[in-house]
Amino acid sequence: MIKIGLIGVGRMGTQHLERLLVSPYFRVIGCYDQQEQQLLHIEEEFGVTGFRDVEELIQQCDAIDIITPTDTHLLYAEKAIKYGKHVFVEKPISTDIEKAKRLVELVREANIIFQVGHIERFNPAFLSLREHALQPMLIEAHRLTTFDAKQHDQSVVLDLMMHDIDIVLHTVAANIKSIHANGVSVLSDDIDIANARIEFDNGCVANLTASRVSGQKMRKMDFFEKEKHYTLDFLHRETALIHLSDTAGNNAIPIRNGQHLRFLNTDTWVPEEYDALKEELNSFAECLIFNREPVVTAIDGLKTLEVASEILHKIHKMNGHQISSSQQHGMQHV
């Protein structure tokens, strides 16, 4: 079994811990958190050892799971990589492009397994399209949620839109030609609602909207192709395909073009329910066991961050705000 340690056992870290404790692949060695009360709670509720020295925990493990505030990812990942440990880090890889680049270089030099936790890659709605060679001409994404006063320590772009940026970059096999974006602060001091338009060299356009001040929850993405339209519902984990065909399925709509009769069919899949976080962590374990590349690599995490940073740059420029020099430097490479 893979000996693993957790760094950060807040709300999300506790969810990781629950999956790791029942995984057939892992043996949890212990946890580290800067909050002593949180460590005591974990020790009492789960019977897991709480470490007060993070490097002591790292040295006793084969792999480290980092679920800390994003701006500390480099700090802890660098410590783990220094000891040659494999690393799983929650998304985004960093809030800073230069730090993300540093992580990519450390991973390359150390030749360790490094996976970024973009969990929607493991959503059954998305996985149901694995056998379909997607070639979208237009992508529409809406990721909306209600406001949570405890969850606004970063912009909605780095928090929510990152999921859809990652899916889009994974799906569209082309370079980005241009990015346009706008966004506003509503209930916090950071961007609460944002819209981005990403244009690719192959003509594909992705329109992404993310909001954390909506009156409803929605996580949908539509892929439009010639004679096909895929709808992914990440929230309810359903996939639908609307497509033109020469044959009629159930409830097909006939469409006549001159003498040619065709049918508009709708197929819906409700994949078997499973725990996406559990599968994501098990996938990390399988990468260690079989020495294969993770589903989401450090380079994937960097590319997603670069696009997110460019979107923020466009928004801040429109709103007359300034951004850090490190972000400006990194955006030149988008």
Helices and strands (DSSP H and E) totals, the chain: 11, 15
3-state secondary structure (DSSP) of residue 282: helix
How far is residue 32 from each of residues 20, 36, 41, 282, 330, measured CA to CA in Å? 15, 9, 12, 21, 31
What H or E segment, with its residue span, contains residue 170? helix 162-171
> What's the rounded Cα separation, in Å, for the pair 125 and 232?
6
Tokens 């020099």: give the residue.
325
Tokens 């060299």: give the residue.
201
> What's the rounded Cα separation, in Å, for the pair 114 and 22?
22
What H or E segment, with its residue span, contains residue 209? strand 205-211
In sequence order, what DSSP letters do the residues of 105-163 get, joined into one string? HHHHHHT--EEEE-GGGG-HHHHTTTTS----SEEEEEEE----TTS-SS-HIIIIIHH
Return the C-alpha torsion angle 321, 100, 276, 51, nearest 10: -110
> What's the rounded Cα separation, in Å, for the pair 285 and 177?
36
* 232 close to 221: Cβ distance less than 8 angstroms: yes
Which residues face 194 on adjacent strands? 183, 210
What H or E segment, with its residue span, contains residue 319? helix 298-319
> What's the rounded Cα separation, in Å, for the pair 55 and 58?
5
122-275+309-317 has the same fold as 2-118? no
The CATH code of domain 122-275+309-317 reads 3.30.360.10
Sort strands 176-184 and 193-200 into parallel, antiparallel or unpaired: antiparallel
How many Cα neighbours within 13 Å face the side chain of 274? 18
Q: What's residue 324's pLDDT?
A: 41
Q: What's residue 321's pLDDT?
A: 55
Work out the number of other CB atoms within 10 angstroms of the CB of residue 274: 12
For residue 115 the two structure tokens come to 């996976």
Q: What is the mean pLDDT of each run of 10 residues along the chain (334 residues)?
A: 97 97 97 96 96 98 97 97 98 96 97 97 93 93 90 84 98 97 92 97 98 95 95 94 85 81 87 90 97 97 98 90 42 37
pTM: 0.91
Sort strands 253-257 and 260-269 into parallel, antiparallel or unpaired: antiparallel
Which residues face 144 on adjacent strands? 211, 218
What H or E segment, with its residue span, contains residue 36? helix 36-46
Work out the number of other CB atoms within 10 angstroms of the CB of residue 13: 22
With CA atoms as reference, report the closest residue to 11 among 232, 311, 277.
277
Sort strands 260-269 and 238-245 into parallel, antiparallel or unpaired: antiparallel
For the chain, domain boundaries: 2-118, 122-275+309-317
Angle at 102 between CA 97 and CA 106, to 5 degrees: 150
> What's the rounded Cα separation, in Å, for the pair 300 and 334?
13
How far is residue 162 from each of residues 102, 118, 224, 272, measured CA to CA in Å? 20, 8, 21, 26
Q: What's residue 269's pLDDT?
A: 86
How far is residue 139 from each of residues 180, 219, 296, measured CA to CA in Å? 15, 13, 21
Quick one: 2-118 is in which CATH superfamily? NAD(P)-binding Rossmann-like Domain (3.40.50.720)
